[in-house]
Structure 1
Amino acid sequence: MIKNPTPRIIAFLTATILTCVVGLISIIFKSSFVEILLEVTLNFIVSFVLTLYALEFFIYRKIKLVYKSIHQLKTGKSDPVFPPLFGSTEDPIAGVTQDVLNWAKDQAVEIEQLRKNETFRKEFLGNVSHELKTPIFNVQGYINTLLDGALDDPEVNLHFLSKASKSADRLASLVEDLESISQLESGYLTMEMETFDVHDLIKDVFDSMEFIAHDKNISFGFKEGCDVPFIVEADKSRIRQVVVNLVSNSIKYGNKDGHTIVGLYDMDENTLVEITDNGIGVEPEHIPRLFERFYRVDRSRSRAEGGTGLGLAIVKHIIEAHNQTINVRSSIGVGTTFGFTLRKG
């Protein structure tokens, strides 16, 4: 039994069978050897050509029309070129069957991805509405309280106005972060590449955030041998945003009297930047989801610290927009290290 026969093989077998039948009939009627030979030869040729033509024209080319439709749906490119009649040495049905199977698999993967995106969209909308609702309700509550009479009390009105201002600031930060992540994910935001010293940039971030770290008495520093220039090529303002976010996290989740240490390492074509704290750490089950939008390990503490829940997602998008990578490792009670790479300048 021949597996996956080509049109030529089918035509050959058909012509052979018909020729044998004609030959037997000729022998029965006692035709001469020459006549039998001519009849058999002519019958084989005619049978072979007609069968091959029927297969090629009526079956093979119709299958190719199906393939063309699938091809256009998959790629949207111009029509595939039909091979000439009698020129195919491959099994067209097997080829088209494989294409159909591949196309079906692609469609199944695409449908599954669409379902995941729909679930993600619903979760994202739910998270956004939840995050926006808290500061909006707070502002509404403070303003309504003031309008109900608290405005006339100098001590109370300043307190409520201060609370409303903080909620408005958080709302503005959330909207700004949403805008940033939308631009990064859509690809509309381009990176303004320049050459600079990432060591100086980190030192500048340390200086600007000392007052925030003062409440917990958290110290900043560089690992031994890393307090030297490291020239990189990147978008300086965006990398500053990355460093500010990671250092801010190390302060928020760091222990009192703790420290935040930065290590800089030569990695051939890239420079590795590691920001390490000796804070509370992150449990292993949470680490794979740290860069998800609005994902919080400790929701109550995160909100108390004033985060929007989008910081690490923005950090990841910025680093990936530089065609680089970011990772995290952490141990409970020991601390957390975020590491990302930048191309050398």
Structure 2
Amino acid sequence: MKLFDALTSFNLTNLKDVSIKKRLLFGNLLMVLVPIFSMLILAAIFIGVIRYTHPVQEALKLNYQTRGESLSVQILLSSLQGDVDSSIPNKLERIRGTLESLEKFGITTAVVENGIVTRLSPGVEGTPTYSLLQEYINNSNPEEYHNHIRHDESNDASKLDDDDPQMQSYMVWDKHGIIFRYASHYDRIIVVGTGNTPFIIGQPNGPGAPPDEDFKNILDSGLIVIFGIGIIIIILLGINMTRMLSNQILKPLKTLQNASKRIREGNLDTPIESTTEDEFGDTIRAFESMRKDLKQAHEDQEVYEENRKELIAGISHDLATPITMIKGYASGLLDGVASTPERQRQYVKNIQDTSNQMDVLVKELFVFSKLDLGRLEFDLMPLNVYDYIHDFISDAGPVYEARGLRLSLLTPRITQKTKVDYNQFKRVITNIFENSLKYKNTEMGKLDVYISATSDIIKIKLVDHGQGVDPNDLSKLFESFYRTDKARTNAHNGSGLGLAIVKRIIEGMHGSIHAALTNGGGLTICIELPVIKE
């Protein structure tokens, strides 16, 4: 039923719309049927040729031989007739040689000298053929044989003596066989012979004769068996090839179909395995690569959503705290709590400081949002990082030291340059210095800067010796609104956007950044930037 449906639904005009399974079925069906029909046609032709014709090779071989004992029968008979009717000295020897050659073609012969048989083909005496030879020797019925004589090129005979029947010579060569009788009028030697005619097409029992019925039946049966076995082999090969092709094509397609279904259902954890190196294997591996990318994108999206929620929560908290403080100070002024001028000035100053904190937070949010959306354009210019940080520490070092953080550049000068946005790179350095200042654990904190370079990378290590972070939190340092203060009770410790902004700026300048723990306590920030190829 499936085969019928496949055949009826197969249409060459819309081949591209036919399923691969049906195309395979149709193709393998043709692969089986075409050889079968071809073999049947060839078998019919071959059997017909065998049945209604017979090989002529042997006849041609006999008619057109060239040397030795393979001389054609016509030439031998012509030679024999000439020898019998001659008076040469070695006449009998020549006749004997010619008769031996004729006997090799199945012709039985006899030689009569003066009425006595002096030579007879071996094994003939006492057989029906011997009786025929006696009749030909005696020429007992010359008219019957004479009527068979054909005066043409193929069966010529001439009468040497029409008056004496014993001296008549003739040759009969037709579909019934060959008969010859040659008599010499010189010495009364008579040579007779008879046999089948192997060189006449259609002559039964000769070397050139067609196969008899038994042989034909055996041949037909053998051919039927051979072609039957061939058809069975073709069918088995077709079935095996169909299964093999189905396994090689339909199985990978089923694998892809199941994988697609799992992905559609949201299952991105099950890998897709491929064991082949063909096009389907490449397709499955590409699909597996896509699954991994989708899984990574899904995980990134989940992280992004979590960060977004934390971002909103952090913004809400960090804005709510200063707003509450401003409202409190404002209410104190309105309600007369701050009754003295000095206390009023203090309330106003607190309101101003809190507003400045909110302004910094809003600006950082603005920068972070532009970085996160990829809308902050970088004006990259060549810069010697060593010289820039050296000058920055020289200028801002005393200010930071006055605030409780001592800055040190501890490596020799390097000449390699990189491309940075000056303003954004300054923000990076400032944010890291400010972060170290906030989380120092001694009255005078310490931040050491190390700069090195290879032919490709400039490495900047900023090592502080402050309170550090939990090792499990290292990967979260560059997330938005991350703080070591989980409760976010101290708004003066910043918004938690500083290192998140630093990471996005460094990545925007084609660099990378990561954090590590400082030996002995503290935090190390490692920045890598590409070297300009000059």
Q: Same fold (TM over 0.5)?
A: yes
Aligned match of 2:524? 337
Query: Which of the pair has the greater relative contact order for Cα pairs under 8 Å at 6+ separation?
Result: 1
Determine helix, strand or coil for the equivalent of 2:452: strand
Aligned match of 2:350? 163
User: Which AA in structure 2 matches 1:244?
Assistant: T
Q: Contact 2:478–2:500 at 8 Å: present in 1 too? A: yes
Question: Does 2:408 align with 1:208?
Answer: no
Structure 1: distance between partners of 2:457 and 2:339: 61
Question: Does 2:250 align with 1:233?
Answer: no
Q: How many residues align?
A: 305
Q: Contact 1:263–1:273 at 8 Å: present in 2 too? A: yes
Question: Offset of 1:166 from its aligned partner?
Answer: 1.5
Q: Any gaps of 5 or more consecutive residues in structure 1?
A: 24-30, 50-59, 75-89
Alignment of 1:60-209 (within 5 A): 114-150=301-337, 153-206=340-393, 207-208=395-396
Q: Any gaps of 5 or more consecutive residues in structure 2?
A: 1-19, 41-219, 239-248, 264-277
Aligned match of 1:85? none
TM-score by length of 2: 0.47
Question: Offset of 1:304 from its aligned partner?
Answer: 5.4
Structure 1: distance between partners of 2:357 and 2:402: 22
Question: Offset of 1:189 from its aligned partner?
Answer: 1.2
Determine helix, strand or coil for the equivalent of 2:490: helix
Note closer, same or farther for the CA distance 1:99–1:320 as it changes in structure 2 (3 Å cut).
Answer: closer
Question: Offset of 1:41 from its aligned partner?
Answer: 10
Alignment of 1:49-60 (within 5 A): none
Question: Offset of 1:317 from its aligned partner?
Answer: 0.7
Range 191-200 or range 310-319, more displaced: 191-200
More helix per residue:
1
Structure 2: distance between partners of 1:14 and 1:115: 54
Aligned match of 1:249? 435
Range 31-40 or range 127-136, more displaced: 31-40
Q: Contact 1:269–1:344 at 8 Å: present in 2 too? A: yes
Write out per-residue CA displacement over residues 22-44 of structure 1, whole angstroms, 9 at most, x where no aligned residue.
x9xxxxxxx999899999999x9
Question: Offset of 1:241 from its aligned partner?
Answer: 0.8
Note closer, same or farther for the CA distance 1:151–1:242 as it changes in structure 2 (3 Å cut).
Answer: same
Note closer, same or farther for the CA distance 1:122–1:230 as it changes in structure 2 (3 Å cut).
Answer: same
Aligned match of 1:298? 485
Write out per-residue CA displacement over residues 186-228 of structure 1, whole angstroms, 9 at most, x where no aligned residue.
1111211101222232234332363243132x322211424x6
User: Which AA in structure 2 matches 1:323?
Assistant: H
Q: Contact 2:458–2:528 at 8 Å: present in 1 too? A: yes
Q: Contact 1:202–1:240 at 8 Å: present in 2 too? A: no
Question: Offset of 1:272 from its aligned partner?
Answer: 0.7
Aligned-residue identity in percent: 26
Q: Contact 2:518–2:524 at 8 Å: present in 1 too? A: no
Note closer, same or farther for the CA distance 1:161–1:230 as it changes in structure 2 (3 Å cut).
Answer: farther
Note closer, same or farther for the CA distance 1:209–1:249 as it changes in structure 2 (3 Å cut).
Answer: farther
TM-score by length of 1: 0.68
Write out per-residue CA displacement over residues 76-125 of structure 1, whole angstroms, 9 at most, x where no aligned residue.
xxxxxxxxxxxxxx999x99999988878876766665555444433332
Structure 2: distance between partners of 1:183 and 1:97: 39
Aligned match of 1:86? none
Aligned match of 1:261? 448
Determine helix, strand or coil for the equivalent of 1:262: strand
Structure 2: distance between partners of 1:101 and 1:233: 38
Which structure has the bigger radius of gyration? 2
Question: Offset of 1:310 from its aligned partner?
Answer: 0.3
Q: Contact 1:192–1:235 at 8 Å: present in 2 too? A: yes
User: Which AA in structure 1 matches 2:309?
Assistant: K
Structure 2: distance between partners of 1:123 and 1:201: 35
Q: Contact 1:230–1:264 at 8 Å: present in 2 too? A: no
Note closer, same or farther for the CA distance 1:293–1:103 as it changes in structure 2 (3 Å cut).
Answer: closer
Alignment of 1:30-41 (within 5 A): none
Q: Contact 2:407–2:446 at 8 Å: present in 1 too? A: yes
Question: Offset of 1:294 from its aligned partner?
Answer: 0.9
Write out per-residue CA displacement over residues 108-144 of structure 1, whole angstroms, 9 at most, x where no aligned residue.
7666655554444333322221122111211222222
Backbone CA RMSD of aligned residues: 4.6
Aligned match of 1:11? 28
Note closer, same or farther for the CA distance 1:160–1:229 as it changes in structure 2 (3 Å cut).
Answer: farther
Aligned match of 1:278? 465
Determine helix, strand or coil for the equivalent of 1:291: coil
User: Which AA in structure 2 matches 1:208?
Assistant: A
Q: Contact 2:318–2:491 at 8 Å: present in 1 too? A: no
Range 206-215 or range 234-243, more displaced: 206-215
Question: Offset of 1:301 from its aligned partner?
Answer: 8.2
Question: Offset of 1:256 from its aligned partner?
Answer: 2.0
